[in-house]
A = this chain, B = another copy of it.
Amino acid sequence: MAIVLGPNQYGKAEVRLVTVTRDGPVHTIRDLTVGTSLRGDLADTHLTGDNSKVLATDTQKNTVYAFAKQAPVGEVEDFALRLGRHFVATQEAITGARVLIDEHAWERIEGNGHSFVRGSDEKRTTAVTVDGDRAWVVSGVRDLVVLKSAGSEFHGFPRDEYTTLAETDDRILATSVTARWRYQGDGVGWAESFTAIRGLLLTAFADTHSLSLQQTLYAMGEAVLRERPEVAEVRLSMPNKHHFAVDLSPFGLQNDNEVFFAADRPYGLIEGSVLRDDAEDPGSAWYALPAF
């Protein structure tokens, strides 16, 4: 028996990067949170503290900032690919890189070219993996909070000795969507694809008459795969943000699904993936990412 080093990675997390581009009086801002992680021949630092192959996480941070100046940031997928490929190309010991980016939303304040108000807390995300000369892109959206006040039922579930839940044919359905989709093929238009996929997710959520949150989840993933050939797979994590109709009968009032208590914890948690049966091999695309 021997004790050995297993899988590992290291990097800099949550580098906060804001850029300003000036086109005369009209400015454009980008607001990103960037994380980088490197993998490779890293046994020495773990076993002896020899750091000769450890590109400092401080250097990784500097690289993020320098790259943001050397060329326009562009789409987050492209920026992540530039960063990841740079680390693998320039550090002999580094064979793989992961770059995570969250993009935060800002909207213009009307009538002013350089003033902005923060948008919703929803983030556009990407997770790019570089492994040698290959690369994979998994993009997504986080904290996309949605609610529908009609078109949701839940019944027909098994009743065991611990079941007390009433069946319902009319409930509020609310969730905070985390979606990640794996791209395949080349030449994807990242911005156009993101906008279209987000729209498909919203429409599927809204338009699916839901008999379970699982059904809604599947419908959302399916809608993306049906319409977007550049997507191989969609993974979704969707907490069921329960809205309980308040029992108003003690006060002589009837609550016709009008008044709800929005609960925090516990919450249902529905997680699943939808994929093409002939999708490209995922390779390292999902390495060390959350399963859902």
On chain B, the residues within 8 Å of A42 by CB distance are 214
Q: A62–B45 Cα gap in the complex (Å)? A: 36
Copies in the complex: 4
Q: How far is the CA of A15 from the CA of B162 in the complex (A)?
A: 15
The interface stretch among A74-82, A112-120, A126-134, A189-197 is A112-120
Closest B residue to A152 by beta carbon equals: B114
A179 close to chain B: CB less than 8 A: no
Please indicate which of the listed interface residues A144, A250, A261 has the most CB atoms of chain B within 10 Å of its own CB. A261
Query: Interface 1/0s, chain A 255-275, versus B by CB < 8 A?
Result: 101111111111111111111
Question: Contact at B10–A69, with CB atoms within 8 Å?
Answer: no
In the complex, what residues of B have CB within 8 A of residue A222's CB? 3
Q: Which residues of B contact A10 (CB under 8 A)?
A: 213-214, 268-272
Q: Determine the chain B residues whose CB is within 8 A of the CB of A65 once the complex forms.
A: 246, 248, 259, 261
B interface footprint on A115-156 (CB within 8 Å = 1, 0 otherwise)? 111111110000000000000000000001111111100111
Interface residue from B48, B109, B163, B255 paired with A215 (Cβ < 8 Å): B48
Least Cβ–Cβ distance between A164 and chain B, in angstroms: 5
A289 to B288, CA, bound (A): 10
CB-nearest residue of chain B to A113: B150
CB pair A16 B251 closer than 8 Å: no
Among A35-57, those with CB < 8 Å from B are 35, 37, 42, 45-57
Task: Find chain B residues with CB under 8 A from A207 CB.
Answer: 112, 115
Interface size on A, residues (CB 8 A): 143
Report the separation of the CA atoms of residues A58 and B160 in the bound assembly, to the nearest whole angstrom: 12
Q: How far is the CA of A265 from the CA of B119 in the complex (A)?
A: 22
Assess the A214–B17 pair: CB atoms within 8 A.
no
| Interface contact B109-A12, CB-CB below 8 Å | no
Contact, CB under 8 Å: A163 / B62: yes
- CB–CB B258/A162 < 8 A: no
Assuming the contacts A214-B46, A215-B46, A269-B37, asked whether A160 and B59 have C-beta atoms less than 8 A apart, the reply is yes
Inside 8 A of A202's CB, which chain B residues have their CB? 109, 115, 117
| Residue A111, interface by CB 8 Å | yes
**Which 4 A/B pairs are nearest by Cβ-Cβ distance?**
A49-B211, A8-B272, A6-B273, A115-B206
Could you list some 14 contacts between A and B, CB below 8 A?
Answer: A6-B233, A10-B271, A13-B268, A14-B266, A17-B260, A21-B258, A51-B154, A66-B162, A114-B151, A114-B206, A115-B149, A117-B120, A120-B120, A161-B251
